[in-house]
Amino acid sequence: MTLNTVLLVILSLLVAGGLSFFQYYYKAKNKSKLHLFLAFLRFLAVFGILILLINPTIKTNTIQTIKPVLPIVVDNSSSIVAMEADKRATEIYRELVSNKDLQAKFDVQSYQFDADFQASEKFDFKGKQTNLALVAKNLQSSNRNLVYPTIIITDGNQTTGNDYEYSFDGTNKVYSVIVGDTTQVLDLKINQLNVNKYAFYKNKFPVEVFLEYSGIKAISSTFTISQGNTVLNKQQISFSLNKKTAVVNVLLPADKIGTTVFKATITTNEKEKNTYNNTKQFAVEVIDQKTNVAIVTAINHPDIAALKRAIEANAQRKVAIFNPNSDIDLQKYTVLVLYQPTTAFKKIVERNKLAELNVFIITGTHTDFTFLNQLQRNLEFKMSGQKEDYSAVFNKQFNSFTTEDIDFENFPPLENTYGKVTTLGNVSVLLGAKIRNIETNAPLLAFAENQGKREAYLLGENSWKWRMQSHIGTDSYEKYDVFIDKTIQFLASNSVKKSLVVNHERFYNSGDAIEISAQYFNKNYEFDDKARLTITVTNTKTKQTKNYDLLKSTTDYKVNLDGLAAGKYLFTVKELNSKTVYSSQFEILDFDIEKQFVNPNVEKLKRLATATKGAVFYPNQTEQLIASLLKDESYKTIQKSITSRSPLIDWYWLLVLIALVLSIEWFVRKYNGLL
């Protein structure tokens, strides 16, 4: 307190004492102990009121002791159980957290991690995924600007997330206690399998398999891919001390429509400790892309035959050729090709307004461009009576579908009427046009999509020369035919709007996040955020049914189905207000990624220790770990002196005391008849 405040407090004492003396002693006839007690009560009340009016500030000093934190993090994934290290991991944890010297030096914190990270003092080792990078992220977030060590009890095998080797802050040491048998044993493993989720019927699809060997002697193994009891591919693969990995590429036939489950297996006559990682299942959905194409032309031209052969190079495509006056049942066809349309095509165009087939328009010197401007709204043609040759310029930014440059710029030019072509609306250009090396900024091959309807435009005749040139350059028509096939595939796919759109995979691996999302649109095709969506999931084998509500997010509705056992499931998504229903199925493949490991990842944990200036310890070295932490002078307890100032008027109990004293004084005076 300041000098002025002290003088005011002294003055308050004198004033309170003087008032009490004047009232109860100065003119009092009877100076009994009762008067002395009442004078004391009056003194307290007056002095308390004066002190509140002065409102002095009270200063207090406290000493706070801050210990450095010591996170002890336990790997709670099921791989610890698979390595028979769960009991030892628990023992190490208890030995560390119960050490009194560590408790005296550090603020010991307990955590666990698998796919998630959380504070915990009990562990069940049932985690389906391991994300060690989460440890770094969460500890850095909760202990910002602090220097602290971290103890991680783990096998070092990670199955998801960022690479933990590069996730930890180099200024904070990481001490890893490696659990699991580090003795290297012979083990064959399917490390990774890459395959497209979709394939076309009667085509072949590629499978890429990465195999890994752990051992020191040379062995021979057998790799197979099977479907049910049928072996589709079988080959011998050798490994040795110097050859630890192998990559297998296989083409498999897609000869059955629907989702097909395959099994890749690697076996050997040698004894293995872990055979679970020798097998990996995968599934492919085979799509029937059977397409009937109608080509309508009023003239005979080599382009027609070349186009027919290119389309029918895919066994799932069939082509029929008609003249414009033919009575065509368009309901039997998927794609309509109009070759150099004129007013004679008016009848077929009118019919297609009902059939709503996607159209491939090819122009040339016989095309009626006035009619073509009336026919469509994607391109505008202002053509002259002259003829011109147009060469192709490949657009690398084209993204409507994937296609490669098959040396288009060296193909012979296409012949078309000279003029100006302007793109309108949503048009993607795959090939631009140039005249004698001068680009025209006009399309040569373009694709359009509007309100679910797709169209393609090839602006020039003599494309048969392209097919011949492709054969000359590669000794095969394959590249050109694939290019035409992708064009037809684009046109064969309709994206008709539906009121209920559900997004899901046809198969999942056990342990994966199983999320199904849906969108519901009103009659104006606007996202309806007031929809009520539910999903019913039924296991086809056990017939067990579960019901869930889909929760609304910003742009869709979602449900998480984690925890379902491996097997096939039927499901139905229903919008309760409109009764709109979507039904489908998915399959959960029996695959536990945590059982893929036979040894801890010692080398990776050592690199992490080196990067953070920490160390690696084994289960029998717990005492050395404790000693290392206790000797490390980097971690010291900090004492902070905290000064707090509080004005006396904030002491509410002083007001209570004043009121109590005045009440007692009044009661005593009343009781003794002094009022």
Chain segment 132-164, per-residue pLDDT in tens: 999 999 999 999 888 999 999 999 999 888 999
Q: What is the mean pLDDT of residues 346-353?
A: 91
What is the pLDDT, as a whole number, of residue 267?
93
Q: Does the pLDDT value for residue 30 go beyond 70? A: no
Two tokens, residue 459: 């602006």
pLDDT value for 524: 57
Contact between 429 and 271 under an 8 Å Cβ cutoff? The reply is no
Q: Which of 73-77, 341-345, 662-666, 670-674 has the lowest mean pLDDT?
A: 670-674
273-277, 381-385, 456-460 — most confident range = 456-460
**Residue pLDDT, tens place only, 249-273:** 999 998 888 888 899 999 999 888 8
Query: Per the structure block, which two tokens stand in for 76?
Result: 């709670």
pLDDT at residue 32, as a whole number: 72
How confident is the model at residue 587, as a pLDDT?
A: 87
Distance between CA atoms of residues 337 and 170, nearest Å? 64
Asked if the model's pLDDT at residue 73 lies above 90, the reply is yes
Tell me the mean pLDDT in the region 8-14: 79
Q: Convert the pLDDT of each residue in 531-541 to its tens digit.
A: 999 999 999 99
* pLDDT surpassing 90 at residue 465: yes
- Read off the tokens for 501: 């759109």
Structure tokens at 336: 């309509």
When pLDDT is averaged across residues 554-567 and rounded to a whole number, the result is 87
pTM of the model: 0.58
What's CA 408's distance to the chain center, in Å?
38
Q: Calculate what percentage of the chain has a pLDDT beyond 90.
A: 52
**513-550: string of b/e by CB count within 10 Å (b at 16+)?**
ebebbbbbbeeeeeebeebebebebbbeeeeeeeebeb
Provide the strand spans (E) within 269-348: 279-287, 291-297, 317-322, 335-339
Question: Torsions phi, psi of 578, nearest 5?
Answer: -95, -10
Mean pLDDT (whole number) for 229-235: 93
Q: What is the mean pLDDT of residues 619-635?
A: 92
Structure confidence at residue 648 as a pLDDT band (50, 70, 90): low
Rounded Cα distance between 241 and 7, Å, is 92
Mean pLDDT over 448-460 rounds to 88
Whether residue 41 has pLDDT greater than 90: no
Which of 190-194, 351-355, 447-451, 545-549 bottoms out in mean pLDDT, i.e. has the lowest?
447-451
Q: Positive or negative CA dihedral for 498, 199, 405, 475?
A: negative
pLDDT at 486 over 80: yes
Question: How does residue 413 score in pLDDT terms, banded at 50, 70 and 90?
Answer: very high
CA distance linking residue 473 with residue 475, whole number of Å: 6
pLDDT recorded at residue 667: 84
111: nearest Cα among 153, 79, 144, 141: 153
Higher pLDDT pick, 222 / 51: 222
pLDDT at residue 564 greater than cutoff 80: yes
Tokens 């919008």, residue?
A: 575
Band (pLDDT 50/70/90 cuts) for residue 210 is: very high
- Whole-angstrom distance, CA of residue 349 vs CA of residue 347: 5
For residue 483, give Cα distances in angstroms to 442, 466, 525: 21, 11, 34
Statement: residue 646 has pLDDT above 80: no
The residue that leads in pLDDT, 497 or 577, is 577
